[in-house]
Chain A
Amino acid sequence: MDNQTISARQYMFLVIFFIIGSSILIVPTPLAAQGKQDAWMSVILSILFGVVLVMFLNKIGSLSSGKTFVQAAIFVFGNWAGRLFCIFYLSFLYILASLVLRNIGDFMTTQIIPETPLQFTHTLFLLVIIGGTYLGIEAIARSSEIFMPWMVILLIFLTISMMPQINVDQLKPILGNGVLPVINSSSIVIGTPLLEMAALLMIFPYVKEERKAKHAWILGTIIGGGVLFLITTLCLLVLGSDLTALNAYPTYRIGQKINIAGFLEGLEIIIAIIWMLTIFFKLIILYYATSVGIAQFLTMKDHRPLLLPLGMGMVVLSIIAYPDVAYFETFVGEVWLSYSLTHGLILPAILMIGLLIKKRVSGS
């Protein structure tokens, strides 16, 4: 949109935050329910898938030569078909953003402030997001550089303080139920967050050097996936697979178990800080992608006038998106994978085919 650029390193940080955000909250429970004590292996499997996926998305990024997903789609498929194509993509981003917003709202309401109505949590959270998006991608990327050390420090603190409570026996027997559950449950991490990375195609063109950006994307995926692996494994080691599957927010539960020399207790809010940070970045990336995408869709010069109306819509959508948490669990378990597969893999694949054909036609 505007002529802002970000560095490859900043892009890598954004990718890491994007992968951890909200997945760290919602992924360990279904993983442990399906994969049992082998859930950690399915995270590794899905990271492998993620690397292949990113190579594919990188290819689209370089084929569209500096165009965002929306611009490239309109360029390839023409004004009408291209826009129809974009409606699917943009609605995916918008719905995903409101679900992410609802995740943090649900968590806050369940664990910290049960009597505060969701609207208020959502509105306050979104106000900051809108402020950040108003300032543009450079400001977002720089703030990711500021907050990354915090997240790393808090993660290290969490890991070290959980060490005394680790019980390696919880991971045994290794592959006790065979390989099948491991493969099946890896689809959970593939659905959230890996396939959602198609949203990053809206930001990819802003990275200064394309070659470095590709490496940064792959590295970011591996590091972000590594953090998910670490958190899932910690949950399994401390709580065991049965209790991890029983808890709505197992990472918060292990935070409650931190006990350093009998006086440093009740540090679970530190875990909540990691979530707030990562979810903030995931949401701001999605929000930026949506608003810039819609602006390009409407060939507007500036995405900023869209921010407030989109935000108002999102507060409403996030609340009516699902009526209760049981609905959400079913939705994530049964619907989400196919939804993110069509919009995060098949749409980009169609675009790639289009780009390749277009290149050949114009080349000859």
Chain B
Amino acid sequence: MKTYNFPFRKLLLILICLLLLTGCWNSRELDELGIVVTLGIDKTDEGDYILSVQVINPSEIATDAPTSRPPVSTYTTTGRTLMEAFRRLTAKNPRTTYLSQLRLVILGKTVAEEGVMPVLDLLYRDHEFRTSFYVTVAKNAPVESMLSIITPYEKIPANKIMSSIENVERHWAATKGVSIDKVIASIRNPGEDPVMSGILLLGEEDIGTNISNVENVDAPTKLEIDEIGVFKGDKLVGWLNELESQGLNYATGNVHSTVITHPCQDEGSLSVELLRTSGAMKGKIKNNQPVIDIKVEAEGNVGEVDCKVDLSKPEALEKVNKQAEKAIKESIEATLAKAQKEYGSDVFGFGGVIHRDQPKYWKKVEKEWSSYYQDVEVNIDATVKIRRKGNSTQPINKES
């Protein structure tokens, strides 16, 4: 092999490196980015989109000596599409929006009731969005005001809401954090309807937007995670309350840990702490009608006792088991009454269960599933096993 000996070969190489190593074409420095943590989306009466973005104020987050400036700023604008609104934001926001760190999307009530599919397209198509954010619905206030509240404890409100959702899911099971791909998949699936967490604004909005809101120990204005919003297709049709939300999570196997309280025989009540639960659904056909069997299995401890019961006897614990089972059944039944009978929304994914277990039958009913859905017969079977009762062997108020 002949080597070509060119004069200044090394110099040429260095020059080429200089050209290539200057950096990325698309490079954007951190101090040019407006890092968006929350997006609020709603619709005006004319049908335009209202887009609110909450960007973090990095110097305020990172500093050791906080100033009186708020840790986040919110900008709002409108547009015929979301994309247009995003670009129009440049007129207000000095930095270009950077969306990869997005934590939370709050959809306004109007947009949720008119259908969320159109707004999800951009969030799924654009390359800057990851899928690791939660999609939620603003329950009782306009989205812009939700995004203007300064929250205590967590400087960035989006982080507060996100960790609240996760905590509620993990310890109380009364909500469900859903990511965008879950929402899109369940809207597109004829055998399932989506749900989303709701967000509540408590207190006066005017106080909440001011930094003095967090100067109080008990902040007067707060954001709270509400229960679950029920959709039919991509339209919001109603809300589940606490009990019904737990029922939904029991049936879909989404309960990590929760508490069941039931009254005692004479007075007082007893709380059971569930530590492990599993929920499974099976589809059958009976008399040419779809039937769903829900099976919930749970394991737990006696958590708190305020009644006269002899906990040293196995029969007593057996009785607690039975009552907890009954409570789980009741909560699932409550959910069924609301979601299935009242709203006609397949939040459990019964259609998907039938599709998986009875594909032939599903082929026939797929097109008009929503008319079959309300007549689906559901059998619930719950088993609870209490294993331990904590540090005390007996209720402390037991007389004897």
Residue B184 at the chain A interface, CB threshold 8 Å: yes
- The reply to whether A259 and B132 form a contact with Cβ atoms under 8 Å apart is yes
Tell me whether A243 and B359 are in contact in the complex, defined as CB-CB below 8 angstroms, given that A111-B127, A113-B26 are known contacts: no
From B100, which residue of chain A is reached at the shortest CB distance?
A266
Interface residues of A in 99-117 (CB under 8 A from B): 110-116
Min Cβ gap B351→A in Å is 13
Q: A116 vs B131: C-alpha distance in the bound complex, in angstroms?
A: 24
Which residues does chain B contribute within 8 Å of A110, judged by CB atoms?
127
- The reply to whether A173 and B132 form a contact with Cβ atoms under 8 Å apart is no
- The reply to whether B181 and A176 form a contact with Cβ atoms under 8 Å apart is no
Q: A111 vs B355: C-alpha distance in the bound complex, in angstroms?
A: 34
From A253, which residue of chain B is reached at the shortest CB distance?
B131
The CB with the most chain B CB atoms within 10 A, among A120, A243, A266, is that of A243
- The reply to whether B185 and A113 form a contact with Cβ atoms under 8 Å apart is no
Tell me whether A266 and B130 are in contact in the complex, defined as CB-CB below 8 angstroms, given that A113-B26, A240-B185 are known contacts: yes
- The reply to whether A243 and B181 form a contact with Cβ atoms under 8 Å apart is yes
Residue B25 at the chain A interface, CB threshold 8 Å: yes
Min Cβ gap A137→B in Å is 14
From B353, which residue of chain A is reached at the shortest CB distance?
A169
Residue B388 at the chain A interface, CB threshold 8 Å: no
- The reply to whether B355 and A114 form a contact with Cβ atoms under 8 Å apart is no
How many A-B residue pairs lie within 8 Å, measured between CB atoms? 55
Which residues does chain A contribute within 8 Å of B25, judged by CB atoms?
113, 115-116, 120
Tell me whether A256 and B356 are in contact in the complex, defined as CB-CB below 8 angstroms, given that A114-B127, A243-B185 are known contacts: no
Residue B276 at the chain A interface, CB threshold 8 Å: no
Q: A253 vs B179: C-alpha distance in the bound complex, in angstroms?
A: 13
Which residues does chain B contribute within 8 Å of A209, judged by CB atoms?
none
- The reply to whether B132 and A256 form a contact with Cβ atoms under 8 Å apart is yes
Q: Tell me if A's interface is mostly helix, strand, loop or mixed.
A: helix
Q: A172 vs B184: C-alpha distance in the bound complex, in angstroms?
A: 19
- The reply to whether A113 and B24 form a contact with Cβ atoms under 8 Å apart is yes
Which residues does chain B contribute within 8 Å of A111, judged by CB atoms?
127
Interface residues of B in 235-280 (CB under 8 A from A): none
- The reply to whether A116 and B356 form a contact with Cβ atoms under 8 Å apart is no
Which residues does chain B contribute within 8 Å of A243, judged by CB atoms?
181, 184-185
Residue A257 at the chain B interface, CB threshold 8 Å: yes
- A82-124 toward B: CB 8 Å interface, digit per residue (1/0)? 0000000000000000000000000000111111100010001
Residue A242 at the chain B interface, CB threshold 8 Å: yes
- The reply to whether A173 and B359 form a contact with Cβ atoms under 8 Å apart is yes
Tell me whether A173 and B26 are in contact in the complex, defined as CB-CB below 8 angstroms, given that A114-B127, A240-B185, A243-B181 are known contacts: no
Which residues does chain B contribute within 8 Å of A120, judged by CB atoms?
25
Residue A307 at the chain B interface, CB threshold 8 Å: no
Which residues does chain B contribute within 8 Å of A169, judged by CB atoms?
352, 356
Number of interface residues of B (CB under 8 A): 21
Min Cβ gap A182→B in Å is 14
Tell me whether A176 and B26 are in contact in the complex, defined as CB-CB below 8 angstroms, given that A253-B131, A256-B131, A257-B131 are known contacts: no
Q: A347 vs B80: C-alpha distance in the bound complex, in angstroms?
A: 55
Q: Tell me if B's interface is mostly helix, strand, loop or mixed.
A: helix
Min Cβ gap A291→B in Å is 15
Min Cβ gap A290→B in Å is 20
Tell me whether A173 and B100 are in contact in the complex, defined as CB-CB below 8 angstroms, given that A116-B25, A243-B185 are known contacts: no
Which residues does chain B contribute within 8 Å of A265, judged by CB atoms?
130, 132
Residue B357 at the chain A interface, CB threshold 8 Å: yes
Which residues does chain B contribute within 8 Å of A115, judged by CB atoms?
25-26
From B181, which residue of chain A is reached at the shortest CB distance?
A243
From A258, which residue of chain B is reached at the shortest CB distance?
B132
- The reply to whether B359 and A114 form a contact with Cβ atoms under 8 Å apart is no
Q: A240 vs B182: C-alpha distance in the bound complex, in angstroms?
A: 10
Min Cβ gap A92→B in Å is 29
- The reply to whether A124 and B20 form a contact with Cβ atoms under 8 Å apart is yes
Interface residues of B in 359-373 (CB under 8 A from A): 359, 362
- A6-29 toward B: CB 8 Å interface, digit per residue (1/0)? 000000000000000000000000
Which residues does chain B contribute within 8 Å of A124, judged by CB atoms?
20
Residue B379 at the chain A interface, CB threshold 8 Å: no
Q: A259 vs B177: C-alpha distance in the bound complex, in angstroms?
A: 15
Which residues does chain B contribute within 8 Å of A176, judged by CB atoms?
355, 359, 362
Min Cβ gap B2→A in Å is 9
| Interface pairs (10), CB distance under 8 Å | A113-B26, A116-B25, A169-B352, A173-B356, A176-B355, A176-B362, A239-B185, A243-B185, A259-B132, A265-B130
A residues at B contact (CB < 8 Å): 110-116, 120, 124, 169, 172-173, 176, 239-240, 242-243, 246, 253, 256-257, 259, 265-266, 268
